[in-house]
Amino acid sequence: MLSFLCRMVPALLLAASIVPSAVAQTAFPNKAVTIVVPFPPGGSMDALGRISAEKLSAVWGQPVLVDNRAGAGGLVGAQRVKGSPPDGYTLLLTNSALIQNVVGAAAANPPYDPIKDFEPVLHMTHAPVVFVVNPKLPVKNLQDFVELVKREPKKHSFGSGGVNQTLHLLGATFNEAAGLDMAHVPQKGDGPLLNDIIAGHVSGGFATIATAGPHIAGGTVRALGVVGPRSALLPDVPSFKELGYPQLDVVGWFGMFAPAGTPKPVVDRIAGDIASVLKMPDVAAKLRGMSLTPTALPPAEFGSIVKRDLGYWDTVVKKVGEK
């Protein structure tokens, strides 16, 4: 009997260690899942979230809801997810704002740690950015715009989707690199930002090609330069690097996160299912129409990108960010 027990105990312990992992993977999800989008409806991130939610709901057989928690350049939504149970039922779809909100001056008392408080789930798409202006301005290219702003000091401004997030930091970097004095006018996302540019409330601003593309095609804004390499989505628009601004040679992204401590089998299940959604022909076609390029980079690779971007944006925010 003793020898039998000696043989059985290790086997039981092994089974006990395996069962929770297996249950976590097979049981998830058994209730509604919420995707928090930390910006208002109408932008490209919101559209990506809603496309993903619809498809994941069909895959999982459970409701998948989109919760727009706009405010403070993405900070409000990130904090909502940070404080949620680490079980995979509350996810965060965001961009580099997750990093930009906690670097520079904010690093002294950060509301969260983007590395320690979140599990990277999937790098979903690249999100290329373009600088656009109101088409009523008497400019045809970026050099014309720079000369106009210098001729008319204190008259021009640039908009953004929020203080110290990607679109603002790109604008501030351009402002400094070109020697301009444009005032910064923040909004709550690139959808409202485009409305400001079209209405003439600001002279221009950086926006994702996904959001600005229809307005560029419709002639309600004019594209002057692309951040990062020249984009096949706007082949006739030069890159900032080509135009002499190597400081603006970066590529934006959209990605999904979960609260830190979410079980790896759950993270892997979510990552795999979202990656499958991104490969669906109708989803791929919608993303192409939105000027988004699917990437589906897995958790470990996405985590490396987040760590790399943390250093990059820390330097940028310290240099041009608002205190």
Region of 72 please: left (phi>0), alpha (psi -120 to 50) or beta: left
- Which residues pair with residue 131 across a beta bridge? 206, 225
pLDDT, residue 26, reads: 55
pLDDT, residue 233, reads: 87
Structural domains in the chain, CATH included, are 16-126+252-320 (3.40.190.150), 129-248 (3.40.190.10)
Give, in order, the Cα–Cα distances in Å from 184 to each of 38, 158, 189: 21, 5, 14
What is the DSSP-derived secondary structure letter of residue 231? Answer: P
**145 sits in which H/E element:** helix 142-151
Give the CA-trace dihedral at 139, 145, 147, 152, to 10 degrees: 90
DSSP for 265-323 reads HHHHHHHHHHHHHHHSHHHHHHHHHTT-EEEEE-HHHHHHHHHHHHHHHHHHHHHH---
**170 sits in which H/E element:** helix 166-178
Give the up-direction half-sphere exposure of residue 128: CA atoms within 13 A in the CB hemisphere: 27
Mean pLDDT by 10 residues, the chain (323 residues): 48 46 65 96 91 98 97 90 98 93 81 96 95 98 98 97 88 97 90 94 94 94 95 94 94 95 98 98 92 93 94 90 82
- The structure tokens listed for 248 are 């603006």
pLDDT, residue 16, reads: 47
- The structure tokens listed for 257 are 């996160």
Nearest Cα to Cα of residue 161 among 125, 116, 210, 119: 210
- Which residues pair with residue 204 across a beta bridge? 133, 158
